[in-house]
Structures are given as C-alpha cells and as structure tokens.
Amino acid sequence: MVIKIDEYSDVPIYMQIRNQIVMGISSGELASGEQLPTVRSLALEMGINTMTVSKTYQILKNEGYITTDRKNGARVRAEIKQSGVISEENKAELRRIVSEARLSGVSKNDIKNLIDEYY
C-alpha cells in the first residue's frame, strides 16, 4: 500500500498516515492480520522521523485498528471492535461537509453517490 504525505496540509503527518491506513483497512487494501511496514522502514521510505510513525502506530493501536508487539511488529487487527455508531466528532464533521456542499449547489444525490463510492 502506498502512503502519500501532503506536506502543505494542515493535517499533521502522523494523522495523515493514520487516516490512510484506516482507509486502507476499510477498503480491504490492507487485509485483516496483514503486516504493516516496520516503524523504521516506513519512516525511511517516507523520509520522516521514526517518532512520527511510532505515534501513528500507537494511535491506531489505541483505536483498536492494529496490534503491535516487539517481536512481530504491527499488524491489522483481526477483530476490530464495532461500536455500531458514528462518533459525535465525525457526525459534526459530516454535518459541516453536507452544509458546505449544499451551499455549493451540490445535490443530495451527488453526496449519496460519493457515499456509495467510498463505502
């Protein structure tokens, strides 16, 4: 899986990587149980510091998306806990996006088509 950093983005690097890995898991590009690159190799590959990648992995681990151990490195977690709900933060973000889309003249159906595309 290719991870790309937008150096001009306001989103911190560790969060950009986190987001792309989450999307990779969701899309199936990263399979359940699949090995992730080591902290060092990913850092080297992306030209960033190991601490930054380490922070990403710790967040993903905390969120229950991956598991890490010193022996095997990081892996996509076999059984990701399903809360069954969208977080309040994400709901607020979704509402903001929908509002902006509406003001830009985007139809409700156009948004729903994007949902279909991304889901």
Q: Report CA-CA distances (Å) from 12 to 41, 103, 111.
A: 20, 28, 27
- At 7, give phi and psi (nearest 5°): -70, -15
Residue 30, interface with DNA (CB under 7 A)? no
Residues that bind a second copy (CB under 8 A): 7-8, 19, 22-23, 25-27, 62, 65, 67, 69, 77, 80, 82-87, 90-91, 93-106, 108, 110-112, 114-116, 118-119
Residue 68, interface with DNA (CB under 7 A)? yes
Q: Of 29, 103, 97, which is closest to residue 112 (Cα–Cα)?
A: 97
Classify residue 70 by its DSSP letter. T
Smallest distance, Å, CB 63 to a second copy? 9
Residue 60, interface with DNA (CB under 7 A)? no
Task: Report the largest interatomic distance among the alpha carbons of the chain, rounded to a whole angstrom.
Answer: 53
Residue 34, interface with DNA (CB under 7 A)? no
Instruction: Give contact residues for DNA (rule: CB under 7 A).
Output: 12-15, 36, 38-41, 47-52, 54-55, 57-58, 61, 68-71, 73-74
